[in-house]
Amino acid sequence: MTNSPTRQTTTSSTIRLADSTAMTPPLGHYSHVAVHNGIAHISGQLPVDTDGTPAADEPFDTQVRMVLCNLDYCLAAAGTDRDHLISVTVYVTDIAQWPEFDAIYAEWLGSYRPARAVAGVSSLHYGAAVEVQAVAAVNTGSEE
């Protein structure tokens, strides 16, 4: 990568906070990504387009693909990618849509299978049907 996909990178002594430039800055008091000791913690991603417009009125599959795309943007801002995911937590407002999510997720990840949890919740911000939060390893250059 020649262009850094991050914005407002803040560094403390051991924690790097970053936001993806491919997305609107977070609308709340948080960063898209926090990296510490080679581990990236990705904030929950909702189906929000790159301009920050919620897509809660879109079909479930569209929301899922948008969330996974936003997750890719955040992983890039952290200096990693989906092949370095350690764990993924998924929140859905209708557990009956879990098989549809799982199929799209499997297509997105291919044969790679990080740890994962799913939680059925009564509601999500902006009326979204799905939210995904993740943890990934970051290649610091000293490892393969």
Terminal alpha carbon distance of the chain: 17
Query: According to the model, what pLDDT value does residue 27 have?
Result: 85
**What is the pTM for the complete model shown?**
0.88
Q: Is the pLDDT of residue 79 over 60?
A: yes
Kindly report, residue by residue over 99-132, the tens digit of the pLDDT.
999 999 999 999 999 999 999 999 999 999 999 9
Strand partners, 36: 15, 39
**SS3 of residue 46 by DSSP:** coil
Question: Which residue in 67, 20, 21, 19 sits closest to 47, CA to CA?
Answer: 67
Residue 8 predicted with pLDDT over 80 = no
pLDDT tens for 21-42 read 999 999 899 999 999 999 999 9
Q: How many CB atoms lie within 10 A of CB 92?
A: 23
From 51, 50, 11, 18, select the one nearest 32 (Cα to Cα). Answer: 18
